[in-house]
Structure 1
Amino acid sequence: MMKVAIIGATGFVGSALLKEAVTRDHEITALVSNPSKVPTSDKVTASQVDVLVQDSLTDKLKGHDAVISAFSGHAQTDVLGYYVTGIQSIISAAKAAGVPRLLVVGGAGGLEVAPGVELIDTPQFPVEWKGTAEGARQALNLLRKEQELDWTVLAPSAYLEPGERTGTFRLGTDQLLADESGKSHISLADYAVAMIDELEQPAHSRSRFTVGY
């Protein structure tokens, strides 16, 4: 059992991570903007936090074995600016709190679809996801320059959608994964399995990896 802080634990991805972590008996601090949305569990402590207030975030991260960031800027007008500022705050707070590991929900946009060509830079990439994808790409670049923190980024496949927990998937590094029919997809539940597997048995220290069928 580990003591884990999940930032954004009631969001699209965060809620799946929370559910998986709880089923594996970890002790979770759910750091969210609205604690009333956190499902009640004897393994979960809900705590209100504004990621941009770094001192407060640092205090709440102290004493944890790891932090998982499912922070996102989807609801903001300036998705990219808000996300990058937030991830900078999370990195700084994790270091100041002395947390051993930071795991981050990445984006598929920064994965390669051909040598030197990232998904976000292809013509078919949806405009409405550009801000989020660019934020994830910049966050990865920030982490790659990080000298102190032990970090890991898990990028999903192109389609990350609700679906069953099969526990059967493939892992990759910097290239977008696709199945036999050419579809790049992973269920939220299986994405969460891959992330909590990495939490429990670190195999991608200071690097990005990806998961898909």
Structure 2
Amino acid sequence: MTIRVVVADDQELVRSGFSMILGAQPDIEVVAEVGDGAAAVAAVRALGPDVVLLDVRMPVMDGIEACRTISAESDCRSVMLTTFDSDAYVYEALHAGASGFLLKDVRRDDLVHAVRVAVAGDSLLAPSVARRLIAAYTARPAPSATPTAEARLARLTGRERETLLHLARGLSNAEIAEALVVSDHTVKTHVGNVLSKLGLRDRVQAVICAYETGLVTPR
């Protein structure tokens, strides 16, 4: 399967560089390069790519607003790219539906990996971003379980709830399978059910949900 990608960045050299890196892969095709968020939304609507790389700061429409629109209208996965290592951008991007958040000094192998991971339904955060996100969560007061939160969690079976808990702790499918003493296939089924029942796009949103519903509390 060929992964079709749109690259959106207002700096021509940057988007050309990313396009060259991705286009050199046998399983990736860059179908469009655009310079602003509105053009990215239009390209996704017209071309139906699998992944869009979005710079956070762009003219006309910024990357986060573009991500929010794309996530609402399609199954295209958004991976955010920025030079700004800011907590605010991370939170906004993840809540907008981003499947990854990378800094522009990302290594080429990690950029390619992020695109493949996004298509697979997983997510990838730059290590520095992940550390900041975890630190920020652990500094917050523990969320209280509201009736709405309990109603959301009540949709899950006991095994699915356990799976969500392990997802929030950052375990891979193989690690979850070992913890639950089940097969990898069974874990994939549980993860799929969790995402479907809670209306989530990927594992990043599952982590956010686990914290917001109080299933996991910061330590």
Of structures 1 and 2, the one with the larger relative CO (CA 8 A, separation 6+) is 1
- Provide TM-score, normalisation by structure 2: 0.45
- Provide TM-score, normalisation by structure 1: 0.46
Which structure features the higher share of strand residues? 1
Which structure features the higher share of helix residues? 2
